[in-house]
Amino acid sequence: MIRYNAAHRVAERDIFPVTRQIEMPVIAYSATRWGTLFRANPEDPRWYEAPRASDWYRFVLHEPAVSIVLCAPDKRAELEEDLTVLSAAGPLAPEEHARLAEHGARVKRNAGQFE
């Protein structure tokens, strides 16, 4: 099980190449980075609107090494939104992936010590 999200992408360099090579499925968790990927941060453009949970799950599942992404909704409405990822229109388009990755990088830069 690997922590992986748009603000914590170390696994792309250190873990996923190995798991792909040995064909080991990966379970990812903290796709929304404990909710911080939903919140605005000081570097966001004024027009920026944070993506929904299902977008962050799609970001994680976009990584070919990831087989499963865990979620932990607090309410039924959150579960229903999380499950919309199952009916999403295929993989992320390159521009969608880039937009999510850019926000993740902004969140990481403003995250403080814990990472």
Q: What is the pLDDT of residues 18-61, one digit of tens each?
A: 999 999 999 999 999 998 998 888 888 888 888 888 899 999 99
- Percent of the residues in the chain that have a pLDDT greater than 70, as a whole number: 96
Position 89 scores a pLDDT of 67
pLDDT band at 98 (very low <50, low <70, confident <90, very high): very high
pLDDT at 87 exceeding the cut of 90? no
* pTM summary value: 0.88
For residues 74, 79, 62, 35, the Cα torsion angle rounded to the nearest 10 degrees is: -20
Q: Read off the amino acid at residue 31.
A: A
CATH code for the part of the protein at 2-109 = 3.20.20.100
Residues with Cβ within 8 Å of 104's Cβ and at least 6 positions away in sequence, in order, are 5, 6, 7, 8, 9, 33, 37, 59
Position 28 scores a pLDDT of 98
Degrees, nearest 5: CA angle 101-36-41: 75
Position 111 scores a pLDDT of 80
Position 50 scores a pLDDT of 83
Position 113 scores a pLDDT of 59
